[in-house]
Amino acid sequence: MGNCIRKGSSTEWGGEDWASFGSGRDKDEGGLAAAESFALPSSLAAATEVKIKISRKELEKLLKEADVEGMSLQQVLAQLVAGEENQRPWRPALGSIPEYDGA
């Protein structure tokens, strides 16, 4: 009954610890904080806001792959935005469930 009073960490969400993203380390290394300082390609310049939902583990994997391939942060973000346009919402393959006549 008292768990609504218990305060949780604001840096922990979904069982993942996001505390390292709030540190000043990203600014010094040119990490995610540098995303604000680059110019988007002209095809993306008209968009004012892009929301990308990705887990921390997926983000770390993506950034490691980009680092190995030598991709810049701009290229990674452009690739994520371009990939999002090709996504369709999931729809079930079965349109209706046929009824079973037990006789």
Tokens of residue 75, six digits: 């290229």
How would you write the pLDDT of the chain (103 residues) with one tens digit per residue?
555 665 555 555 566 666 655 544 444 444 444 444 455 556 555 666 767 788 888 888 888 888 888 888 788 777 777 766 666 777 777 777 778 887 6
Task: Write down the pTM of the prediction.
Answer: 0.31
- Residue 49 identity (one-letter amino acid): E
CA–CA dist 52, 81 (Å, integer): 8
Q: Which residue has the tokens 């349109």?
A: 95
Model pLDDT, residue 64: 85
Model pLDDT, residue 46: 65
Listed by start position, the domains of the chain span 12-85
Tokens of residue 103, six digits: 């006789």
Model pLDDT, residue 49: 76
Q: Provide the terminal-to-terminal Cα distance of the chain, rounded to the nearest Å.
A: 51
CA 67, 69, 58, 35 torsion: positive or negative?
Answer: positive
CA–CA dist 1, 31 (Å, integer): 42
pLDDT (tens digit per residue) in 33-48: 444 445 555 655 566 6
Model pLDDT, residue 5: 62
CA–CA dist 18, 26 (Å, integer): 13
Model pLDDT, residue 25: 44
CA–CA dist 10, 57 (Å, integer): 18
